[in-house]
Amino acid sequence: MTQAAEANPYAPQVARLSRVIDETPTIKTFCFDLEQPMEFRAGQFVQLGVPGLGEAPFTPSSSPLEPGHLEVTVLRTGGVTERLHRMGEGDVCTLRGPYGKGYPVEKLEGKDVVVVGGGVGLAPLRALIHVLLSMTDRLNKVVIKNGARESAELLFRRQYDEWAAHDKVSFEMTIDAPEPGWAGHVGVVTTVLEDLPNEVNVPNSYAFSCGPEIMLRFVTFALLEKGFQPEQIYLSMNRRMSCGIGKCGRCNIGPYYLCKDGPDMCYAQIKDYPNVF
Amino acid sequence: MSKMLFLSEDGLVRLLEAVKASEVYAAVRRERGPEYCHLQKVPEAELALREPRPSSSLKAFLQPAKERVAVYTNEGFDVEASRLVCEDRALVGLRACDLVAIAYLDKVFREGDFKDPFYEARRESELLVSVDCVAVHENCFCTAVGGRPFAESGFDLNITPLESGYLVEVGTERGREVVDRVADAAAEPTDEQLAERNAARQKSIDQVEKQTRGLRVTDKVQELLLAKQGTDELSEMAARCVECAACTFICPTCHCFHLYDQVGGEENFERIRTWDSCILGGYSRMAGPAGAKPTPRPSLRSRCANRLLHKYAFSPQQYGMLGCTGCGRCIEACCGEIDIREVLRELIGDTSG
């Protein structure tokens, strides 16, 4: 980014797509090889846009350990994402960021880490998983649970075996609507949390979840029921983050602006405010 | 030269003429009452220094209702077109509550990890000339939110209108420079004049206090609001709200904005920001199917409650000050005749009003 653009926080850099990966019928991953690497923490987000149309907030799904190569995984669900999905290699996007706090990775030394994804929610969590996999020697255990509506919508399926192959890492997936021949687990993602107290040492754990709001709500209730304290639960909250820098006002939960204080919020911080879920 | 000066009617005109700014925003007399207006110079119009506060806030001069914040041409980001060049500006005739609003907006736009370069450019070169409220608007309630109808800090120059002439207090070096240009017109104030100032100030306080009828937004009120959030009690004003958003647009501290891109020509685009309002239904709507609940505050009740909470409970946590200056402009602006003072009074359980 030029220095002038850096001094203007509303001005994005122009970035050319190096590759577009079809992930599921509704999700694509947009890849950028950036001239100037974008250093970010797992969980921080960027504003990715279509020139002249507008931008939307996404947490990168690529590894923060490779800041020169940025991947953003996008569900087709609105005006900007519709147009993004029609773009291909060589097309130009707008990009600014990173914004927000990111996951509190420094708290995880010696801990059991539970990662719960739902649908496209696994995208931001993949950035976290990359970081967790790079520091397994300092973690006690990583338990990944992923759910999707149907098997075709299971995101990053090509990487599940690779993740599960790591020492200290376990992976489990489930789908709501199985097709004939599906041999895996069936049910919403909370159904694979039932056995959690036997998989992790709950008082020594942190849980991170990202997915649709309704899923976050039930995952939170399930975790609380399994003995997690609100302080141990981090949720990727969904609000309309526009400016990204805590000025435009629209992404608040209580006194917190998700773009500045989140978008991953500790449940203890937000639980007493109305309209959280 | 001392910090306090006396100027005659003519002397004040000379002082204001000595404000060398290429852009002047001033409280001037208009047929309908005092207004903040854009002037080429002072005194192009008759200034409103003895009237109650203008009915509009000065927000539009600090954060315009619509502004271009980035321009892209075929060559990429256009640095020149995306920059705000601001020459010397002067805001004249500000009331104490407007200075409080500037202090609040400064916290929003000039502090934190990211600064707003447009707001910053405007504020950097700005001379602030405030004036005591010798007349009080019937909706004013500044004393209820910790304010006073005159400024004690935050200005470059502050004017106190007297029966005959004016007292001018110098607040900064920048203010001192202006005063120095008309040193021959200034005199040391007499004890009588200083006493008149104190009396006039007390009279204004008494007037505001009288119409405020003991209302006080204290820490306790903030606790009460937080305790009642999510209850119907907090959103009762929604019954009369017509969702016009006038309260947020007239409010001197409301600063929410909307960013959008538009195609400006062949293969280029520009990014625009406009004022936005948390009262409007689409304000925080997200992409996604309707069933996925893409609006965190779908009901008007929840939006009204959020506005109230932001003003009186969240702002102190975010910026260390209330988001309300007690100017009462939202009371005049409201089509539904919502009186924020009554809303607060009912919440506190004070039925004496």
ipTM here: 0.93
Give the domain extent around B118.
4-56+83-212
CA closest to B113 among chain A residues: A245
Q: What distance in Å separates residue A226's CA from the closest CA in chain B?
A: 26
Share of chain A above pLDDT 90, in %: 93
Q: What distance in Å separates residue A228's CA from the closest CA in chain B?
A: 25
SS (H, E, C) B163-217: CCCEEEEECCHHHHHHHHHCHHHCECCCHHHHHHHHHHHHHHHHHHHHHHCCCCC
Looking at the structure, tell me whether residues B202 and B235 fall in a common domain.
no
Given a cut of 70, is residue B351 above it in pLDDT?
no
Which pLDDT belongs to residue B41? Answer: 66
CA dist A71 and A44 (Å) reads 13
> Closest Cα to residue B60, out of B97, B93, B101, B100?
B101
Looking at the structure, tell me whether residues B179 and B307 fall in a common domain.
no
> Closest Cα to residue B99, out of B125, B128, B121?
B128
Looking at B161, B190, B212, the residue that finishes a domain is B212
* A-proximal residues of B, 23-82, CB under 8 Å: 69-70, 72, 76-77, 79, 82
Compute the average pLDDT of residues A15-44: 95
Q: Is residue B142 part of a domain?
A: yes
Same fold yes or no, A3-98 and A105-236: no
- Which CATH architecture fits A3-98? Beta Barrel (2.40)
Which pLDDT belongs to residue A6? Answer: 58
> Closest Cα to residue B275, out of B292, B297, B295, B250?
B250
Looking at the structure, tell me whether residues B19 and B139 fall in a common domain.
yes
Looking at B188, B212, B236, the residue that finishes a domain is B212
For B154-200, what is each residue's pLDDT tens digit? 999 999 999 999 999 999 999 999 999 999 999 999 999 999 999 99
Looking at the structure, tell me whether residues B208 and B223 fall in a common domain.
no
Question: Token pair for residue B240?
Answer: 């009369």
Q: Where are the domains of chain A?
A: 3-98, 105-236
Q: Is residue B77 part of a domain?
A: no
Residue type, B249: F
Q: B83: pLDDT confidence band, cut at 50, 70 and 90? A: confident
Looking at the structure, tell me whether residues B316 and B237 fall in a common domain.
yes
Q: Is residue B279 part of a domain?
A: no
> Is the pLDDT higher at B266 or at B93?
B93
Compute the average pLDDT of residues A79-96: 96
Looking at the structure, tell me whether residues B52 and B131 fall in a common domain.
yes
Q: Is residue B264 part of a domain?
A: no
Q: Is residue B186 part of a domain?
A: yes
Which pLDDT belongs to residue B349? Answer: 81
Looking at the structure, tell me whether residues B182 and B223 fall in a common domain.
no
Q: Which CATH number fits domain A105-236: 3.40.50.300, 3.40.50.80, 3.40.50.2300, 3.40.50.10860?
A: 3.40.50.80
Share of chain A above pLDDT 70, in %: 98
Under an 8 A CB cutoff, do A8 and B83 touch?
yes
Compute the average pLDDT of residues A131-155: 96
Looking at the structure, tell me whether residues B163 and B304 fall in a common domain.
no
For B217-257, what is each residue's pLDDT tens digit? 998 888 999 998 888 888 888 899 999 999 999 999 999 99
Looking at the structure, tell me whether residues B328 and B184 fall in a common domain.
no
Residue type, B136: V
Q: Is residue B268 part of a domain?
A: no
Q: What distance in Å separates residue B81's CA from the closest CA in chain A?
A: 11
Q: A175: pLDDT confidence band, cut at 50, 70 and 90? A: very high
Q: How far is CA B189 from CA A157, B155, B262, in A?
A: 82, 20, 57
CA closest to A277 among chain B residues: B296
Share of chain B above pLDDT 70, in %: 95
The mean pLDDT of chain A is: 94
Compute the average pLDDT of residues B255-272: 88
Given a cut of 70, is residue A129 above it in pLDDT?
yes
CA dist B301 and B233 (Å) reads 10
CB B7 within 8 A of CB B193: no
Compute the average pLDDT of residues A1-24: 83
Compute the average pLDDT of residues A111-122: 97
For B34-63, what is each residue's pLDDT tens digit? 999 988 766 667 899 999 999 999 999 999
Which pLDDT belongs to residue B290? Answer: 62
Question: Token pair for residue A104?
Answer: 């509190």
Q: Is residue B233 part of a domain?
A: yes
Check CB contact of A13 with chain B, cutoff 8 Å: yes
Of B114, B288, B293, the CB nearest to A245: B114
Q: Which residues contact B186 (CB under 8 A, 6 or more apart)?
A: B1, B5, B6, B7, B11, B168, B179
Check CB contact of A247 with chain B, cutoff 8 Å: yes
Looking at the structure, tell me whether residues B337 and B241 fall in a common domain.
yes
Under an 8 A CB cutoff, do B269 and A52 touch?
yes
Looking at the structure, tell me whether residues B181 and B136 fall in a common domain.
yes
Check CB contact of B284 with chain A, cutoff 8 Å: yes
Given a cut of 50, is residue A2 above it in pLDDT?
no
Q: State the total domains in chain B.
A: 2
For A198-245, what is each residue's pLDDT tens digit? 999 999 999 999 999 999 999 999 999 999 999 999 999 989 999 999
CA dist B315 and B168 (Å) reads 33
Q: Which chain B positions have a beta carbon within 8 Å of A12's beta carbon?
A: 70
Which pLDDT belongs to residue B85? Answer: 84
Q: B301: pLDDT confidence band, cut at 50, 70 and 90? A: very high
Compute the average pLDDT of residues A8-16: 93
The mean pLDDT of chain B is: 91
Any idea what the CATH number is for the domain that residue B178 is in?
Answer: 3.40.640
> Is the pLDDT higher at B153 or at A1?
B153
Q: Is residue B168 part of a domain?
A: yes
Q: A123: pLDDT confidence band, cut at 50, 70 and 90? A: very high
Check CB contact of A101 with chain B, cutoff 8 Å: no
Looking at the structure, tell me whether residues B183 and B291 fall in a common domain.
no
Q: B87: pLDDT confidence band, cut at 50, 70 and 90? A: confident
Which helix (H) or strand (E) element contains residue B39?
A: strand B33-39
